[in-house]
Each structure stands twice: as structure tokens, then as C-alpha cells.
Chains A and B, each alone.
Chain A
Amino acid sequence: MTTLFELQLDKSLRRKLIFICLLVAIVISAIYSVIAYRLSSELGVDTEIRFLEKRALFLMAEIEEEGDDAEERVAELISLMQTTEHQPEELYLIFQDNEGTSWELNQFMPKKTVSDVLQQIGTAYSADNKSGFNRVDGHYHIWTVQNQPDKTLTLVISSHSLDQARAHIFKRLIISSVIVFWIAVWLALTLSSWIAKRVEDKNEALKKLATHDNLTGLPNRLFLADLFERYQRKHNAPEKGALFLINIDKFKDINETLGHRNGDKLLIVFAHRIEHFLSKDQVVIRTSADEFLVWVPEVDAENACHFADQLIATLTSAFQIDQLPIQLSITIGIALSPNHSDEIDSLMMFADIAMNEARKQRSAWSVFDETQQIEQNSQKTLRYRSELTDALREHQFKLYYQPKVDLQTGRIISTEALARWHHPEDGVVPPIMFISIIEQSGKIREFGRYVIKTSIRQLSFWKSKGIAVPIAVNLSPYNLLDPDIVTFTQDLLKKYDIEPKLLEIELTETATSLHLQTISKSLNAFKEIGVQLSIDDFGTGMSSLAYISSLHVDTIKIDRAFVRDMDENERHLSIVQTALNLAKAFDCTVVAEGVENVTQANLLAALGCHYGQGYYYSRPIPEEQFTAMLQFSPTLPVAST
């Protein structure tokens, strides 16, 4: 099962976010500082060079004008320029012309520096590059070479102002970088915690959505699985306790009677009552419409039973829905951890099995019984459920036939078709293993139609062989909710040209059987088209008499439970007699099921029972064998022999 651990917030998320924000801030600050520094120093250098070029041009013009006195005039001008500066700048000037005149002027510039700078000018100078700056002896020196066709002036100054400007820019950039960094830290902290908080909130909401039921607000299966996993991770051992599966009996009926809105209300009130009953460490979750799970830690089997009693007492007192008191009946299945299993999925399955067991025993609760090895069966059930679709498609379900015999003559008067699953791995699987799976799987309509169709084809096949033996098929009450089942049957009967009276519907009364009224419509329609009706397992169902009186059945089949020991059990004998009288009164025939020996056959015949069915005559056999039986020995041993 998916765990919620994936939803837990990564603790390092915030740290990572802060780290990333800071890193981005540092990188941006660095880029910004470098670019700003370079840009402004380039601008500064550029301005200085232009200024120097202008000075050189000015001096050049003066030299041109003065002619021979140029050297003195230039020296005078330069000293004039120097007086405007705070600090006399180092300056070097050299003039050459084509006539061989050459003079230089040096103010405060060391000789070595001059030669170094001149050397660098020699390499850097070109027609396109007449000015530039070099770093010599830790100082910036700006130079320019001004050419005219017949003379050249080279001017070099040591630039203090450039150093000053750079230091100035650097200082400001450092301070503003610190401020930017400080703002970035702010932003990093705020942004990271804001994002982390949002993620956390979303996670919480998602978690709530994933682990809680919308209607009742109770946690769901995922929550419990998560709880289990957390405990196991923390303690490295399975949690001790008991899992209670609470099922509201016949909740569907409540929904149908009161409406879904009131059904929902009832569920909410029901859920709240469970919640109030539980202590803090106990958990209730809703698993499906009418099923709740309660997890009670630290209890043993004995306490669990006691707890179940209390729970039942609490939940069976009346609920008020719209001023209408509603009394619920509930069934509880109990599974213990770690006695039965330490895995939540298995515990849920075991609780479910226990709940079904309680239902069968008509008991309010039941503890899962390991010794029955039901686990294997339920795993098989799960497997069968998944294989059902393929089985139906591949016609793995075969009909076996068991004869119904006239007790007086031994003649086969009819047959009951019983489904068997020819499972590719497990061999022939009896109906008890798969009927309920089919009923729960939603495939019951498809299955019912399949059985009817196979039976009608069989009738058609027998008809071609000159055999006319009716087939009784077992239909689940759910089949009768299929609105088109009657039309479907009628069409098939017409198609294969089979008399409707050759088909008989056997209806089993089950504890969960649906309302008589809802299915009586289909049953009456079957009657109308001429299909025979019979009640199966008569005497064990809940509403036998109501069925018979209102449905006009043709046949009732007395349950094997009464027939099997009627020669020894007076009470069962009385029931059989009563059923026979009843059948007489309702003018229907009687078939005794489970006839296993000649004594029973004789006794039934003596009581006036018409027909018998059971292992004494034949067990259910495959179609080919049964056809052979019909062809070659249609008369079976009679009762009196």
C-alpha cells in the first residue's frame, strides 16, 4: 500500500532554499560589482585619456606657433597647468621632428619609469591606438602620441586621479554590496520559509484529503496503514492490539427506505457515536459505505471480546434521524495483532472473514479463527475474483446435471443444472467457492444469462435426440433484478424452439435475499411466459411462506437438512410432513433434496412426496454422461425396491 511518507515534508527543504537564495544573492552581487567596477573605471580611464589627448594637441599647437622657443613655452605652460593641481603630477614629454630636432621634458618622473613606459608605448603604439594606459611601479600611467606629418609629440603622465577614482568606486561598491547582501539574506530567509510553509500547508491539505473520508470526516484505510507503518518504523516491532470491523446490517435497505440523504446523516451520527465511545489512543476509520474499522491498541483476545460487547451495546441503542428513532443491528469481526497477523491488509481481511463468520452464526461478533485456515481460502477468493472475467469469456463454467426422480417409478422427470468451474489450475471448483464471488463482483447478471443460455442450448440438443427433460436452473435473486432477463430468456426459447415449461427457475432464499416485491415482477413475468418456478432449500430461508403464497410456485424443494435425518429426527420428519401438506394446499409438487439411501426414499414415498433428488439416484454429472443416462437408463431404482 502506498504510504504517506512520500508526503512528509523534506526537513532539508528549507535549508536548501536558504542556501540557494544566498548563493544566488552572492553570485548576483559579485557580477553586479565586477561589471559596475569595470564600467566605471573604463569610463574614468577614457575621460582621462581624452583629456590628455586634448592637452597634447594644445601643446602641439603651441609648439607649431612658437617655432624655436617651443621648448621654453611648453615648459612654461606645463608648470602653469601643474599649479592648478593639488599635488604636482609626474609628467614626461618628448618632441621629435623630421629636421632632427628632439627635446624632452621630465617632471618628477623617475628615469626607470620613463624608460619602462616608453618601452611599453613602443609595443602598444599603432596608427589606430595612439593613446593608452599602463601600470608601471604600482601606478597608472596614461600616454598619448600625437603625430603630424613632420613632428611627433609623446606625452606621459602618472595618473593619481585614476587610482583615487578606482579606490572611490571600489569603496562604494563594497558598501553597497554589503547592503545588497544584507537585503538578500533577508529575502532568502523570508522567501525560503514562505515557500517551505506553503509546501507544508499543501502537504497537510493533501494528506488530510488522502487519509480522511469526506462524509464523516473520519480517517480512511490509508490513515490506518500509515499509522501502522509509523509504529513499526519507530518501534521496529508490530503493534499489539485488535482490529474491529463493524458492519451495519442491511444498510442498503435503510438507504432505500429513508433516502440517501438520511442514510448519510445516519452514517455521520453513527461515526460520531463510535468516536465518542473511543478513548484517545483508539482510532476509528471508515472503509466503505457501511463498514467501519476500529483499531484498539494494547488489548488481548479477552478484552477485545469485552470491548466488542460494549461497542455493540453503544451502537445498537436507537439513533434519532429527523425525529425518527432508528435501531441498527451491527456485526463485528475481530482480528488480533500480532496473533493473527502484523500486517494491516491481512488484519482487515481476517476481520472481514470473522465478520462474515459472525453473520453465518447469527452472532453479533466473532473473533477470527486461525485454525480454520481460512486465510488460504480467502487468498483463493481474491485470485478467483481476478480470474472471473477470463473464466466467463473462456466458458470455463460447465453445467453438471443431477436428476430429479419420480419416487414411485424411478423415472427421471427433470434435472437440476448445477454450475461447476473447470479451473485451469485448481480443477473442478464447487459453486460454494465461487457463487458468492460472482454475486459480489457485479458479474452475476452475465453469469445468470450464461447459465440460462447454456441450459436452453442443452434442451435444444436433447430435443434433437428426442429427449424432453426439463432443466431447472438456479438463479440468484440478483439475476431477477436484471430488467431484461425475461425477454432474454423468451427470445432464446423462441430461437431454439423450446417449450417454456421445459425451463424451470430455482430460486434460493438466502439470508441476504432481496425484497420479495422487487423480484416478484420478474418472477411473475417468467410465470407468464410459461417458465416453471420452484423454491430451493425450502425451510431454511427467511420468508418461505410469503414466497409461496404470493408467487404461485410450481414446485417446492425441501432442504436436504430435513431429509437427511428424517428417519431419526422426529422434528425434521414433522417439517417434511408439514411441507408436504403445505404443497398440497398450494397445489404444487414437492421435490425432496438430499435423498441418500433407500430408507429415505421409501419413507418419502410413503409420506406422499412425489419426487426425490440426491446421491441415492445420482450425483451431479457432466453433460455427456447425463445425456447417456437419459438415453440408456432413463429409469433409476425406484423407492420400493
Chain B
Amino acid sequence: MMKPNLHPWDRILRGVIGVVVIAFGLFNGDFLEEPIIEILIIIFGVLNLVSLATGWCPVYSLANIDTRSKKP
């Protein structure tokens, strides 16, 4: 089930997005002023980091997408 389905570039992109988004969620100061949005952004970032760590994206897996192997 947890068969990696992410291409290295896909993982790196997710890593960058994850770090940036979490940092923004945590350290935006008074910019957002909305805890719900901050929490959502942090969840989004964490999920991206999970994908980076495992090389597996649950949505790709459900949608039968695989950027890792050549075959679509």
C-alpha cells in the first residue's frame, strides 16, 4: 500500500513547500490573525513533509498517479 510513488523532484518540491508553509503558519506574526487558517496551513505543510519523508502521497495512491516510475 505504502509503495513510494513520488519522483525525487516531486519530493524536493513538497519538502520546500512544506518548510515554507509551516514557517509561514508559525511565524507570520500578526499577518494572518486567524488560528483556523494557521492550523490548516500547518497541517498542509506537515503533510507535505510526510510525503517528503516517505516518498508516498496518499492522494496519488488513491488517484493511481505515479511520478516515480516512467509509466504513467
Partners in one complex: yes
Asked if A172 meets B59 with Cβ closer than 8 Å, knowing A193-B64, A197-B64, the reply is no
Closest to A18 in B: B63
Q: Separation in Å of the A19 CB from the closest CB of chain B?
A: 14
Q: Does B26 contact A (CB under 8 A)?
A: no
Asked if A179 meets B44 with Cβ closer than 8 Å, knowing A171-B31, A171-B32, A172-B32, the reply is yes
B40 touches A179 (CB 8 A): yes
Proximity bits, A168-192, B CB within 8 Å = 1, else 0? 1001100110010010001001101
Within B21-49, the residues touching A (CB, 8 Å) are 31-34, 37, 40-41, 44
Q: B59: which of A168, A175, A186, A197 is its contact (CB, 8 Å)?
A: A186
Q: How large is the interface on A (under 10, 10 to 19, 20 to 34, 35 or more residues)?
A: 10 to 19
Q: Does B1 contact A (CB under 8 A)?
A: no
Bound together, the chains give a CA A527 to CA B22 distance in angstroms of: 104
B62 neighbours in A (Cβ, 8 Å): 189-190, 193-194
Q: Separation in Å of the A232 CB from the closest CB of chain B?
A: 28
Asked if A179 meets B41 with Cβ closer than 8 Å, knowing A171-B31, A172-B34, the reply is yes
Q: Does B12 contact A (CB under 8 A)?
A: no
Q: Does B19 contact A (CB under 8 A)?
A: no
Asked if A175 meets B37 with Cβ closer than 8 Å, knowing A182-B44, A186-B59, A190-B59, the reply is yes
B32 touches A189 (CB 8 A): no
B33 neighbours in A (Cβ, 8 Å): 168
Closest to B24 in A: A175
Q: Does B50 contact A (CB under 8 A)?
A: no
Most buried by A among B31, B44, B63, B64: B63
Q: Separation in Å of the A474 CB from the closest CB of chain B?
A: 68
A176 neighbours in B (Cβ, 8 Å): 37, 40
B59 neighbours in A (Cβ, 8 Å): 186, 189-190
Q: A175: which of B41, B60, B63 is its contact (CB, 8 Å)?
A: B41
Q: Separation in Å of the B37 CB from the closest CB of chain A?
A: 5
A179 touches B37 (CB 8 A): yes
A189 touches B65 (CB 8 A): yes
Q: Separation in Å of the A9 CB from the closest CB of chain B?
A: 13
B63 touches A189 (CB 8 A): yes
A194 neighbours in B (Cβ, 8 Å): 62
A190 touches B63 (CB 8 A): yes
The SS class assigned to the B binding surface is helix
Q: Separation in Å of the A236 CB from the closest CB of chain B?
A: 27
B37 neighbours in A (Cβ, 8 Å): 172, 175-176, 179
B34 neighbours in A (Cβ, 8 Å): 172
Bound together, the chains give a CA A190 to CA B58 distance in angstroms of: 10
Closest to A175 in B: B37
A171 neighbours in B (Cβ, 8 Å): 31-32
Bound together, the chains give a CA A375 to CA B65 distance in angstroms of: 54
Proximity bits, B48-72, A CB within 8 Å = 1, else 0? 0000000000011011110000000
Within A152-181, the residues touching B (CB, 8 Å) are 168, 171-172, 175-176, 179
Closest to A180 in B: B40
Most buried by A among B31, B37, B60: B37
A190 neighbours in B (Cβ, 8 Å): 59, 62-63
Asked if A175 meets B64 with Cβ closer than 8 Å, knowing A186-B59, A190-B59, the reply is no
Q: Separation in Å of the B51 CB from the closest CB of chain A?
A: 12
Proximity bits, A330-364, B CB within 8 Å = 1, else 0? 00000000000000000000000000000000000
Most buried by A among B41, B44, B62: B62
Q: Separation in Å of the A197 CB from the closest CB of chain B?
A: 7
B40 neighbours in A (Cβ, 8 Å): 176, 179
Q: Separation in Å of the A37 CB from the closest CB of chain B?
A: 15
Q: Separation in Å of the A179 CB from the closest CB of chain B?
A: 5
B41 neighbours in A (Cβ, 8 Å): 175, 179
Bound together, the chains give a CA A8 to CA B59 distance in angstroms of: 26
Closest to B59 in A: A186
Bound together, the chains give a CA A411 to CA B10 distance in angstroms of: 106
Closest to A194 in B: B62
Proximity bits, A16-43, B CB within 8 Å = 1, else 0? 0000000000000000000000000000
Bound together, the chains give a CA A171 to CA B33 distance in angstroms of: 10
B65 neighbours in A (Cβ, 8 Å): 189, 193
Closest to B43 in A: A179
B32 touches A175 (CB 8 A): yes
Q: Separation in Å of the A286 CB from the closest CB of chain B?
A: 35
B31 neighbours in A (Cβ, 8 Å): 171
Closest to A168 in B: B33
Bound together, the chains give a CA A552 to CA B33 distance in angstroms of: 112
A193 neighbours in B (Cβ, 8 Å): 62-65
Proximity bits, A362-401, B CB within 8 Å = 1, else 0? 0000000000000000000000000000000000000000
Bound together, the chains give a CA A186 to CA B43 distance in angstroms of: 14
Closest to A192 in B: B63
Bound together, the chains give a CA A179 to CA B60 distance in angstroms of: 18
A175 neighbours in B (Cβ, 8 Å): 32, 37, 41
Closest to A188 in B: B63
Bound together, the chains give a CA A440 to CA B63 distance in angstroms of: 55
A168 neighbours in B (Cβ, 8 Å): 33
Q: Separation in Å of the A457 CB from the closest CB of chain B?
A: 76
Q: Separation in Å of the A638 CB from the closest CB of chain B?
A: 93
Q: Separation in Å of the A185 CB from the closest CB of chain B?
A: 8
Smallest CB-CB A-B distances: 9 pairs: A189-B63, A193-B63, A190-B62, A186-B59, A193-B64, A179-B40, A175-B37, A189-B59, A190-B63
Residues in A lying within 8 Å of B, measured CB to CB: 168, 171-172, 175-176, 179, 182, 186, 189-190, 192-194, 197
Beyond the given pairs A175-B37, A192-B63, 18 more chain A to chain B contacts, judged by CB atoms under 8 angstroms and listed by A's residue number, are A168-B33, A171-B31, A175-B41, A176-B37, A179-B37, A179-B40, A179-B41, A182-B44, A189-B59, A189-B60, A189-B63, A189-B65, A190-B59, A190-B62, A190-B63, A193-B62, A193-B63, A193-B65
What are 30 inter-chain pairs, A to B, with CB distance below 8 A? A168-B33, A171-B31, A171-B32, A172-B32, A172-B34, A172-B37, A175-B32, A175-B37, A175-B41, A176-B37, A179-B37, A179-B40, A179-B41, A179-B44, A182-B44, A189-B59, A189-B60, A189-B62, A189-B63, A189-B65, A190-B59, A190-B62, A190-B63, A192-B63, A193-B62, A193-B63, A193-B64, A193-B65, A194-B62, A197-B64
